[in-house]
């Protein structure tokens, strides 16, 4: 049996993005962000954004898809965090 190496990329993408999803969806639903560090989360969101740019440069679909999904969720969560911080809720 011959496994395409691209499958490894899609498997990796599904696992890392999948492991991030439940917590992200929960945070988006509850808008509870007090447990998140603004500094660390900003760093994470910026990092995912640069992986996305790098994936586009490499024309690598697995990297683009994984980081596009993660970036949208991370940016939403960061938005709630900033809003909560600005409103003085935490």
Interacting residues toward a second copy by CB under 8 A: 5, 8-9, 11-20, 22-23, 37, 40-41, 43-44, 46-51, 53-54, 57-58, 60, 62
Nearer to a second copy (CB atom), residue 8 or residue 85:
8
Residue 85 Cβ vs a second copy, minimum distance, rounded to whole Å: 18
Chain centroid to Cα 83, Å, comes to: 19
Shortest reach from residue 86's CB to a second copy, in Å: 21
Q: In terms of residues, how long is the chain?
A: 90
Report the nearest approach of a second copy to the CB of residue 44 (Å): 4
Taking the complex as a whole, how short is the minimal distance between the CB of residue 72 and a second copy, in angstroms?
16
Residue closest to 44 by CA, chosen among 90, 80, 75, 82:
75
Measured distance CA(1)–CA(31) in Å, rounded: 47
Closer CB to a second copy, 50 or 87, in the complex: 50
Over 70-81, what HEC string results?
A: HHHHHHHHHHHH
């Amino acid at each position: 049996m011959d496994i395409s190496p691209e499958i490894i990329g899609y498997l990796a993408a599904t696992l890392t993005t999948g492991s991030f999803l439940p917590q992200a969806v929960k945070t988006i639903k509850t808008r509870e962000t007090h447990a998140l560090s603004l500094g660390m989360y900003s760093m994470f969101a910026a990092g995912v954004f640069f992986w996305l740019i790098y994936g586009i440069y490499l024309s690598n679909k697995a990297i683009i898809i994984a980081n596009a999904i993660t970036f949208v969720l991370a940016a939403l969560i960061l938005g709630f965090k900033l809003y909560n911080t600005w409103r003085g809720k935490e």
